[in-house]
Amino acid sequence: MKSLKSSILFFLLVSFCFARTIDEIKDSGQIIFAVYENFPPYSYKQNDTPKGIDIDIAKQIAKSLNVKPVWYFSGFDETLSDDLRNNIWKGNLIHKTKADVMMRVPYDYEYMRLTDKQTGSLETEMVSIKGSYHCEKWVIATNKKAIPEYKTLAIFAYHKVGVEIDTLPDLHLSSFGRGIIRQNVIHYTDIQKAVKDFKEGKIDAIAGLKSQLEFLLDFKHNQNRYSISDDIPLMKSKWDLATAVSVDSKELSYHIDLLIEKLFKNGNIKKTFDNYGVNYIPPISKSQ
């Protein structure tokens, strides 16, 4: 309890207008990471202990600066731009907490070029996004007994497929073929609930993030029971994940970028994903 109060006090003390420099982070002995709450396998708590891919990578960033990591578990807002504002460059509207680094930020050229409709400025103008460390995908997992194979989404006119509500797969599957499979698209507020129903045979398929499905289904040890597609037909399905810092902390951004490159080349990043049963896919940016 005492350490928790100390962390909260630390959060309040560092919630100032300007981003911290590397020297200021080193002098404080701590670096604050914003990670998404209850988002396995990237960031979650197990018996109150932070776990996950993003947690492990963030620990290595902290180690490279010889400081301790402090976790700021944050929920999802309506848009990524809102998350970046609340977590990195402005701070939470209520308690003003903000982080030095935000993990699991999409590194996508199209998003990087999006502009605010009112101001015309780039939506990422206030942040620096670097250090891409994984290529994420939208995929569909199927029960092999119910669906041995499929070539088009039309098969879901005969099989129920679970999706997390308001995600891209939800919109795509619900509108596919002018709605011909909509009645079999089952909506969930939490992907983990969808996975539970899938395991129990209440639905025959589930659409979601490849990394989440591999982790939650323990896919590495259940490939005789389940299949996972390479992508979702007719839908843009992959993008890189990276880190974000305030635009005023470019030195920190470049430091992280160089470290991630080192961890990528020595196989450390891949090993981290392997530890969580996730098949690692090198970032698109690494192959260009």
Write the pLDDT tens digit of every residue in 213-239: 999 999 999 999 999 999 999 998 899
Q: Are 125 and 230 in contact (CB under 8 A)?
A: no
- Residues 212, 269 within the same domain: no
Q: What pLDDT digit, counting tens, does each position of 166-220 carry?
A: 999 999 999 999 999 999 999 999 999 999 999 999 999 999 999 999 999 999 9
For residue 18, what is the domain's CATH number? 3.40.190.10
Domain contains 237: no
Pair 27, 144 in one domain: no
Kindly provide the b/e burial profile for residues 213-234, where b requires at least 16 CB atoms within 10 angstroms of the residue's own CB: bbbbbebeeeeeebbbbeebee
Q: Which two tokens stand for residue 159?
A: 């099989």
Cβ neighbors of 95 (< 8 A, separation 6 or more) are: 11, 12, 15
Average of per-residue pLDDT across 148-169: 96
Q: Are residues 267 and 212 in the same domain?
A: no
Note whether residue 235 is domain-resident.
no
Range of the domain at 169: 137-228
Give residue 9's pLDDT.
44
14 lies in some domain: yes
Q: Do 147 and 131 fall into the same domain?
A: no
- Under 8 Å CB-to-CB from 248, ≥6 apart: which residues? 18, 19
pLDDT of residue 15: 43
Considering the domain architecture, whether residues 74 and 151 belong to the same structural domain is answered as no
Residues 124, 167 within the same domain? no
Which position has the higher pLDDT, 285 or 33?
33
207 and 74 co-located in one domain: no
What is the DSSP-derived secondary structure letter of residue 246?
Answer: E
Q: Does 127 lie in the same domain as 219? A: no
Q: Determine if the pTM surpasses 0.85.
A: yes
